[in-house]
């Protein structure tokens, strides 16, 4: 009986005061400043999109677990985090039914069909966004600011129309066209500070990711300075909140830095020579698939393990 209750592994045994619910709660708290900035700059519809996505993700996870007779785990808040992150990656004008389908794909196809929390191989919110961008490219790339259609800074850079490019200070604050939660680097940095303070994430992935992307974009001759490069698009949102997802990133600090550097390289390549002005989503999704290889190459040997020869 005791063997069925306890799983004994090799020491050392690490204990943490944080469980899944607390971690996800702090992630939601850290996302709140970016959400408030999104509502301030894009209006009440941004708040409705966020509510639709969160409610849909929680509902789909609850219904799936009920129908498949699994333990209902919506109280761990992971589905709410997925919904909010997906909403942050959508324009405020997105039709609600598209957002709901994106939530369905993220929760059922990407998360639950692989076994639920901890078993998915890519980030569910980013996979949902990628599916939506492929299925509905026009609504997913239609931007408004102050009620007027507006191109994103990255789209302006891609098109070479730099005369109307917002200043780096406007990009930092968030007064630019873009997705709901990605435009305000200032608000995202507040969230980053919260996550660091509560020890929910480490600095390795966000700092290395942003630094490598900025350095390579400058090396590749991008026509804007490094501040405008890192404050435009979803670089801060992706680096802080999605590239740090526990399930889809390496477990060791060295592996995390390799992963982050790969994300930075791919982002710079896509922004510089890809057909799409932004590269964050696809970069993280591609690097998610390399995590097992990175873990295999960087995980430490078990204490007392004999090195294999031949």
Domain that holds residue 36: 20-298
CA 205 – CA 284 distance, rounded (Å): 11
- 8 within a domain of the structure (yes/no): no
| Burial category of 127 from C-beta neighbours within 10 Å (exposed 0-12, middle 13-18, buried 19 and up) | buried
State the CATH number of the domain containing residue 41.
Answer: 1.10.3430
Q: What pLDDT is stored for residue 46 in this prediction?
A: 95
| Burial category of 256 from C-beta neighbours within 10 Å (exposed 0-12, middle 13-18, buried 19 and up) | buried
Q: Which two tokens stand for residue 260?
A: 């982050």
Long-range contacts of residues 189-192, Cβ cutoff 8 Å, at least 24 apart: 189/236, 190/30, 190/33, 191/30, 191/31, 191/32, 191/33, 191/34, 191/240, 191/241, 192/30, 192/236, 192/240
Q: Nearest Cα to 233, choosing from 283, 291, 286?
A: 283
- 1 within a domain of the structure (yes/no): no
- 14 within a domain of the structure (yes/no): no
| For helices 185-197 and 20-42, angle between their N-to-C axes, nearest 10 degrees | 160
- 111 within a domain of the structure (yes/no): yes
Q: Which residues pair with 149 in a beta bridge?
A: 144
> Rounded to two decimals, what is the model's pTM?
0.90
* pLDDT tens sequence for the chain (310 residues): 445 555 555 555 555 567 889 999 999 999 999 999 999 999 999 999 999 999 999 999 999 999 999 999 999 999 999 999 999 999 999 999 999 999 999 999 999 999 888 889 999 999 999 999 999 999 998 887 766 677 788 888 887 777 878 888 888 998 888 899 999 999 999 999 999 999 999 999 999 999 999 999 999 988 888 888 899 889 999 999 999 999 999 999 999 999 999 999 999 999 999 888 888 999 999 999 999 999 999 987 766 556 665 5
- 72 within a domain of the structure (yes/no): yes
The CA–CA distances, whole Å, from 134 to 84, 130, 302 equal: 20, 6, 44
Q: Which two tokens stand for residue 294?
A: 């990175």
Helix (H, G, I), strand (E, B) or coil at 148: strand
Residue pair 277/238 in contact (Cβ under 8 Å)? The answer is no
Q: How many Å separate Cα 205 from the centre of its chain? A: 12
Task: Count the domains in the chain.
Answer: 1
- 102 within a domain of the structure (yes/no): yes
Query: No. of H helices and E strands in the chain?
Result: 16, 2
The neighbour count for residue 269, using CB atoms within 10 Å, is 16
CA 179 – CA 128 distance, rounded (Å): 14
Q: What pLDDT is stored for residue 29 in this prediction?
A: 97
Q: What pLDDT is stored for residue 12 in this prediction?
A: 52
Q: What pLDDT is stored for residue 126 in this prediction?
A: 96
Q: What pLDDT is stored for residue 7 in this prediction?
A: 56
DSSP one-letter code for 76: G
DSSP one-letter code for 109: I
């Amino acid at each position: 009986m005791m063997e069925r209750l306890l799983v004994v592994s090799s020491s050392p045994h690490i204990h943490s005061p944080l469980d899944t619910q607390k971690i996800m709660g702090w992630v939601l708290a850290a996302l709140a400043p970016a959400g408030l900035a999104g509502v301030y700059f894009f209006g009440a519809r941004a708040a409705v999109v966020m509510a639709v996505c969160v409610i849909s993700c929680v509902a789909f996870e609850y219904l799936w677990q009920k129908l498949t007779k699994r333990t209902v785990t919506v109280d761990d808040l992971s589905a709410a985090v997925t919904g909010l992150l997906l909403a942050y990656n959508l324009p405020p004008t997105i039709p609600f039914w598209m957002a709901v389908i994106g939530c369905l794909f993220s929760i059922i196809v990407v998360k639950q069909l692989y076994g639920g929390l901890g078993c998915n191989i890519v980030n569910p919110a980013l996979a949902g966004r990628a599916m939506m961008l492929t299925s509905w490219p026009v609504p997913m790339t239609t931007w408004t600011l102050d009620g007027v259609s507006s191109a994103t800074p990255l789209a302006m850079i891609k098109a070479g129309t730099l005369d109307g490019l917002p200043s780096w200070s406007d990009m930092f604050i968030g007064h630019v066209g873009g997705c709901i939660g990605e435009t305000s680097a200032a608000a995202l940095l507040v969230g980053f500070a919260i996550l660091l303070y509560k020890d929910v994430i480490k600095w390795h992935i966000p700092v290395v990711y942003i630094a490598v992307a900025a350095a390579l974009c400058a090396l590749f001759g991008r026509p804007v300075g490094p501040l405008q490069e890192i404050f435009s698009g979803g670089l801060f949102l992706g680096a802080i909140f999605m590239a740090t997802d526990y399930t889809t990133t390496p477990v060791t600090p060295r592996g995390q830095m390799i992963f982050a550097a790969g994300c930075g390289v791919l982002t710079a390549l896509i922004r510089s020579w890809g057909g799409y002005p932004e590269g964050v989503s696809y970069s993280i999704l591609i690097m998610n698939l390399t995590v097992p290889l990175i873990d295999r190459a960087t995980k430490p040997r078990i204490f007392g393990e004999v090195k294999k020869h031949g």
